[in-house]
Structure 1
């Protein structure tokens, strides 16, 4: 039995994963991952090992795969040949990389929700794989943006004004737990007594 060419095998496997993510074309895969069409052509040709790690990670997230899976399925090397696997990323290292997104993204989503005409609304679906990854890692927000809670200095950080423990504050930037451990305190502002009652 003849083995199909590398490009046919890689293209077929990419199409399979794209179908699972409702991506009907390679152009849409490139847009979803935020990479160039030339990069997708490189994958289809079995040259995944020549792509930058950051680029492979974007495509892997778009396809809900690991980078190792993507390398295995889009490599010109025989699948039976052992290839050195990169050391697994420690969750704390990955969370450090994601820190700017963790702190800023919920605020962006809240702004877009209030004004759906903002062009940014188009990018919200693009981060669903990242949200699944955080859920898999048991990373949970302390509270939704804009919600009000009794002030607890152990999980809240005041951005302005003063508040005594138990006073009502509004969540302005998300804080996070990793399982039971606190990762980042939520940034909050005091709620005026009149507005809290109203």
Structure 2
């Protein structure tokens, strides 16, 4: 297609969008007048896709419409489409690679956190067991011997070996912050929040007797004390 025809066609398109000169078109699209001259000469194959996209946007055309208007041969249009498709394909591949890499990084971070939590759990469990064994050390060392002596001598007073159990148990509960609710045999005002009646009915404040001890940890109730009416 002659240059004059392409120039006239470009001027017609410019007039439709209110652009009066090639200099104004250059400023509006952010491209050089030399690049506009290439378009007027139908040399699309020598122009960058980015430049064509800017011109098409200002002229309110799609890229394919711009190519159809200023290509002097169908091969130019095909080359342009191939260039755009290749560019889009490259961008898609790069985006896919970035997503795969990001997913790989996230998976690695997740596995690292899971492993760290498992290690911390094992460490806490080990520390818990060691502290419990330390508190119960005297019971573990002396209780089997005391129990065997009690079996060998039925007349041995059981009260003498009670401290072997009571002291380490009290130490363990104290270390864990567990508090006993009253003591066995004590007579206390009935509190349905802390006490459980073994039989019958009692009113709050009525004196009851503790049969089985209860426990709480801070504000949390672990076990109600089991009580009976007097």
Range class of TM-score, shorter chain: 0.3 to 0.5
**TM-score of the superposed pair, with normalisation by structure 2:** 0.34
Greater helix proportion: 2
**TM-score of the superposed pair, with normalisation by structure 1:** 0.39
